[in-house]
Chain A
Amino acid sequence: MLCDTISIQLAEVVDGESVLAPDAARHVERCLRCQAELAQYRKLLRALTTLRSDFAHVDDLLLEEILDSIRPVAPVHRLHRLNYRNRKVAIGGIAAAAATGAAAGAIVIASKLATRQRLAS
């Protein structure tokens, strides 16, 4: 039996949930390559298990965001209810609207001044 055929089966049986067919098991008993692969799978599985108690670093702001999102809402806090990305989008939108308003105001004032100057002359 070819080792390549058995290779994927080793990934299946390494956790003990299933077993190799008798002919495949006999092959592995004699084949150093397959034995080495099986040992690697076992090592891999052990290492994966140990990752369970590793925690990714995260700032306290996330906790505040979560708690904020599950608390009863006061209207003034509605912005905080938005998730991380949507909040950035909302803040960006508010800033853009403010900038547009200011620009529009400046254009109106400038055009009024120009009209006055034309009328004066």
Chain B
Amino acid sequence: MDELVEEAREGDQRAFESLVRQTYQDTYTLAYRLVGNEEDARDVVQETYLRAHKGIKKFRGDAQITTWLHRITANCASTYLGRKGRQRHESLPEDTDFADDHPQGDPVSRADLSALRSQLTEALMQLPPKLRAVVVLRDIYDLPHESIAEQLGITESAAKVRLHRARKRLRERLYPLGEEEARAV
């Protein structure tokens, strides 16, 4: 992919299109996780690639191209949600299917993990968008706090506070029984 990036930076349209082909599903998945519905995610993805296309010459290559695209996606989604929030209330998230790419582990723990991931995907969509964005970008996509704060237009400490709140809410949602048991201890 590095070669394609280099060619795209030099203005090769075909190379950029190949990059799009290789990355659009990943970009769409992140966009979907950030905005919570298909139609908005499609718009965010288009905007992301338009910006990437305009800015590819400025891409210095000190991060992976996917990380760079994740940052743009986060920024586009944040702008999009901000604009949408001013226009109307957030609609309920849709159900969508995610392909499971984790065949490792023994069958029991695999089934446990699969169930947990399914609950987790649902729980993520129930989070308020501001909390969801931070936990998705940090804990799933491994973006640094500094970058998350920059793309979302908040301070680094605010990003951390949101992250901890999001984790707490997810834990409480995923382990409600554990919570009661824990209180009884």
Binding site for B on A (CB under 8 A): 3, 7-8, 11-12, 14-15, 31-33, 36-37, 40-41, 43-45, 47-58, 62-63, 65-67, 69-71, 83-85
Contact = CB atoms under 8 A, between A and B. Distances in A.
B46 A54 contact: no
B43 interface: yes
Nearest to B167: A11
A83 B47 CA distance: 8
B42 A62 contact: yes
Contact of B121 (A43, A51, A70, A85): A51
Given A37-B171, A41-B167, A63 B20 contact: yes
Interface string B164-177: 11011011001100
A65 B49 CA distance: 11
B111 interface: no
Given A11-B167, A40-B171, A47-B113, A53 B42 contact: no
B183 interface: yes
**A interface majority secondary structure:** helix
Interface of B: 13, 16-17, 20-21, 24-26, 28-29, 32-33, 39, 41-43, 45-47, 49-50, 53, 96-102, 113, 116-117, 120-121, 135, 139-142, 160, 163-165, 167-168, 170-171, 174-175, 178, 181-183, 185
A119 B41 CA distance: 62
Contacts of B45: 62, 66
Contact of B102 (A41, A43, A53): A53
Nearest to B168: A11
A70 B120 contact: no
A44 to B, nearest CB: 5
Given A48-B120, A53-B101, 10 more contacts: A33-B185, A37-B182, A40-B178, A44-B167, A49-B140, A56-B33, A58-B28, A63-B20, A63-B24, A69-B49
A108 B91 CA distance: 44
Given A48-B120, A62-B42, A11 B99 contact: no
Contact of A56 (B32, B53, B167): B32
B110 to A, nearest CB: 11
B99 A41 contact: no
22 contacts: A8-B165, A14-B167, A33-B182, A33-B183, A33-B185, A36-B182, A37-B171, A41-B167, A43-B116, A44-B167, A50-B117, A52-B140, A53-B102, A54-B101, A55-B99, A56-B28, A57-B96, A57-B98, A58-B24, A66-B45, A66-B46, A83-B46
